[in-house]
Amino acid sequence: MRYLLKVERGTVIHYLKWLIAILTLVAVVLLARAAVSGPDTVLSVGGPVAGWPAYGGDANGTRYSPLTQITVENVKHLEVAWVHQTGDVSDGSRYRRKSAFEATPILFEGLLYVSTPFSRVIALDPQTGAERWSYDPRIDLDLGYSESLVSRGVEAWVDPRAPEGEPCRARIFFATLDARLLALDAQTGQPCEEFGTAGEVDLKLDVGEVEIGEYEVTSPPVALGDVVIVGSAQGDNRRVEVESGDVRGFDARTGALRWTFQPIPRSPDRPGWDAWQPEQARRVGAGNAWAPLASDPESDLVFVPTGSAAPDFYGGERLGNNMFANSVVALRASTGELVWHFQVVHHDLWDYDIASQPTVTTVRRNGEEIPAVVQATKMGHIFVLNRDTGEPLFPVEERPVPVSTVDGEEAWPTQPFPVLPPPLMAEIMTPDSAWGITPWHKGKCRDKMKALRYEGIFTPPSLEGSLEYPSMIGGANWGGVAMDLERRILLVNLNRFASWVRLIPRDQWEEARRAADAEGQFTAQQGTPYGMNREGGLVGPGDIPCTPPPWGKLVAVNLDEGSVRWDVPLGTIRDMAPLPLPIGWGTPNLGGPIVTAAGLVFIGAAMDNYLRAFDVETGEELWKGRLPAGGQATPMTYRIRPDGRQYVVIAAGGHGNLGTTLGDYLVAFALPE
């Protein structure tokens, strides 16, 4: 909100102008002195050069950079170096879905590559942001896709058998929202004709009956050896018999199918068949990997984070623990062979998909480096697993959880709880915990919470409605975590609010959906006795969360010890409130952190349109740069020349479902030249 103040011209204004001019001159002189004096010099030509060759910074998904030009001392001088606008944004008025610019660019062989919400791929000059080429696969933007118009990124690959300069020796692999896998020449953007059919493979084949717009790919593929591996995203609450959540490996040169892994086994020759009832295994879909995958090239392993079997909130048609769903699955990349798996949620009834990319790192014990995979979850649980075997490196306990009261449902009696690191979110949210900006608002929230079933985390859905905390949004979501490889600190951003869900008997569902006071999302869950009604956030009057702030946090974990080092609120309500008040209550957030060797954590994600820098040692906020739209993406950083600048780049395009400012910006920050 802006206010204009009108005053008469006169002596006061005259002297104020002179005073402003004098103060401006003094400020300029002081800044000039600071810029050329001693340790506060802002730009240094020393330090390493490094790129960002993969979505997660590297194949391991660490989001760590060895760069040191931007430091704890000079980060306050960061300024906008360049801005690129893609032109791809939707507010829902022209196309059926709003856009969400969630992409993280990669730097590969001297160019930046980024995907847009419209499934276009753009190559940019990394020092100016100027476009070098773009490729448009021409998806149908008018389809009612199950989520926003969205894409998180691309993957690069070099064919070691191809001679230098040969077309498509260096390739950009990309999967579209309408489920096609593309191979593009990295230098020209032209399709690699020998890959699939004219440069693309149709991923909708052999996954069952596909409902157009409901079977998508939103995260980048992974290329390892001569195989490119891809999962899928699905609208998995439509019905029981949705598409199979197959993870597939294709020949990186020809596009030929090399192998298929089925998280829900469809035949007796598939791993895990004995853990399912045969008639259910043949019908149930999903269990898909929609989040980014990670890999370990040295061991030929790809780590797959899977989601729940369909549908999310009723499991009577998929009894058992639903092996391989809600799991970290390690596969041999060259063959698709199952190496190990670890399930983080048994028989998921809460939409607790593994939404975060696994992180491949090590844990230090008694001077020994133990290969590890770290998995953040929507529950705020962090599982640290042996990379070779999948065994937990910290204790994990199977604890009893509430039983289901819904006919036909058989909730799993226990769930795995890591002892270390401790849960990063409180696991109890009672009506006495209700929060409000006034006693009236708090009372409304308390009444709303009292009407819902709640017996702690993993309270199953019910006919009266169940409170879900953490929310089905998280905890941690697709932004993933960052791992400071030198300081051994894991950075995790979390959402801290509750949601609710209720099941509605089939004969009452249509009436409930059409009721005048209906709120939330209604989904049919066809093939089950119940439809579903849910809301991703438990809110009171004015859509203000009923859970106490902070509603978003950034947390640092000492990974070797499994202890929390610090946590701080992430974001302010500046762009959420009627007045632009920078109150530090934290906000819901989507996107992830990165960390540099200089000791800086960069993160956007929050709902107040800033990119921030934190001190990795203390959690102190050191700088924030205003963005032209919501920064619901994970940033990246690079420096391409010894005499050049280090850039920090973030997609600032907002998120239609989160309600942040929409745009089409890619913004690069750097120190002044």
Q: Which residues are catalytic?
A: 351
3-state secondary structure of 229: strand
CB atoms within 10 A of CB 631: 35
Token representation of residue 279: 């008639």
- Report the alpha-carbon distance of residue 452 to residue 311 in Å, rounded: 21
Closest by Cα among 173, 167, 59 to 115: 173
- 383-388 LR contacts (CB < 8 Å, sep 24+): 383/328, 383/342, 383/344, 383/416, 383/418, 384/418, 384/420, 384/421, 384/559, 384/562, 385/328, 385/342, 387/296, 387/299, 387/301, 387/330, 387/360, 388/299
CB atoms within 10 A of CB 444: 19
Helices and strands (DSSP H and E) totals, the chain:
4, 42
Which residue in the block uniquely carries the two structure tokens 């032109």? 87
User: Which backbone phi and psi does 248 adopt, to 5 degrees?
Assistant: -130, 145
CA 55 to chain centre: 11
**Apex 53 CA angle, 51 and 59, nearest 5:** 125
- What is the three-state SS of 443-476? HHHHHHHHCCECCCCCCCCECCCEEECCECCECC
- Report the alpha-carbon distance of residue 520 to residue 529 in Å, rounded: 20
- Decide: 314 and 503 in contact? Cβ < 8 Å: yes
CB atoms within 10 A of CB 57: 27
Peptide bond into 545 cis (omega under 30): no
- Decide: 381 and 344 in contact? Cβ < 8 Å: yes
- Report the alpha-carbon distance of residue 281 to residue 272 in Å, rounded: 10
3-state secondary structure of 493: strand
Beta partners for 415?
A: 399
Give the side-chain half-sphere CA count within 13 A for 582.
4
- Decide: 244 and 208 in contact? Cβ < 8 Å: yes
User: Which backbone phi and psi does 543 adopt, to 5 degrees?
Assistant: 60, 30
Closest by Cα among 493, 426, 465 to 633: 493
3-state secondary structure of 30: helix
Residue 549 to residues 435, 615, 644, Cα–Cα distance (Å)? 8, 22, 42
- Decide: 383 and 374 in contact? Cβ < 8 Å: yes
Strands 593-596 and 64-65: parallel
Token representation of residue 619: 């959690």
- Report the alpha-carbon distance of residue 503 to residue 522 in Å, rounded: 10
CB atoms within 10 A of CB 171: 27
Helices (H), 527-634: none
